Copies of this chain bind each other. A is one copy, B any other.
Amino acid sequence: MQPEAKMTFLDRFSAMRETQFGAFVPVLLALAAIWGYFGLVLPLIDLMSGEADSFRAIFLSPRNIYNLFMQSAVIATLAVGITIVLLLGDIDLSAAATAGVCAALLGVLVLSGVPGWLACIIVIFVGIVMGAAQGLLIAYVGIPSFVVTLAGLLGYQGLMQKILPTGNLNVGDPFVRGIARVLIPDLWGIVLGLAVVGMFAYANLRKQSRRKTLGLEQDSPLALWSQVIAFAAIVVAVVFTLNAYRSLPLLLVLLVAITALLGWITTSTPYGRSLFAVGGNPESARRVGMKVKRLRVSAFAIVGFMAAIGGIFGASRYGSVSYTAFAGGSLLLEAIGAAVIGGTSLFGGRGSVWNAILGALVIGSLGNGLDLTGASAADKLMVSGAILLLAVAIDALSRPGNGSGR
**A contact set with B: CB distance below 8 Å:** 89-91, 93, 137-148, 150-162, 165, 282, 292, 296, 333, 336-337, 340-341, 345-347, 366, 376-386, 388-389, 392-393, 396-397, 399, 402-406
| A282 to B138 CA separation, bound complex (whole angstroms) | 27
| A145 to B404 CA separation, bound complex (whole angstroms) | 10
Per assembly, the copies of the chain total 2
Closest 5 CB pairs of A and B: A155-B385, A158-B381, A142-B402, A158-B382, A161-B378
Q: Judging by beta carbons under 8 Å apart, are A147 and B381 in contact?
A: no
Q: Given A91-B346, A93-B333, A383-B158, does the pair A151, B388 have CB atoms closer than 8 Å?
A: yes
4 additional A-B residue pairs with CB within 8 Å, beyond A151-B386, A158-B383: A138-B405, A143-B389, A158-B385, A159-B382
Which of B383, B389, B405 is the one whose CB lies under 8 Å from A145?
Answer: B405
| A385 to B154 CA separation, bound complex (whole angstroms) | 5
B-side contacts of A160, CB under 8 Å: 378
Distance (whole angstroms) from the CB of A403 to the closest CB of chain B? 4
Which DSSP category, helix, strand, loop or mixed, fits chain A's interface? Answer: helix
B-side contacts of A144, CB under 8 Å: 340, 345-346, 405-406
| A381 to B154 CA separation, bound complex (whole angstroms) | 5
B-side contacts of A153, CB under 8 Å: 333, 385
Q: Given A404-B282, A405-B139, does the pair A151, B346 have CB atoms closer than 8 Å?
A: no
Q: Judging by beta carbons under 8 Å apart, are A151 and B385 in contact?
A: yes
Of the A-B pairs whose beta carbons lie under 8 Å apart in the complex, a sample of 27, sorted by A's number, is A89-B347, A91-B346, A93-B333, A139-B405, A142-B399, A143-B389, A143-B392, A143-B393, A143-B405, A146-B336, A146-B337, A150-B337, A150-B388, A151-B386, A153-B333, A153-B385, A154-B388, A158-B377, A158-B378, A158-B381, A158-B382, A158-B383, A159-B381, A161-B376, A162-B379, A162-B382, A292-B404
Which of B141, B145, B393 is the one whose CB lies under 8 Å from A406?
Answer: B145
Q: Judging by beta carbons under 8 Å apart, are A142 and B378 in contact?
A: no
Distance (whole angstroms) from the CB of A347 to the closest CB of chain B? 6
Distance (whole angstroms) from the CB of A30 to the closest CB of chain B? 10
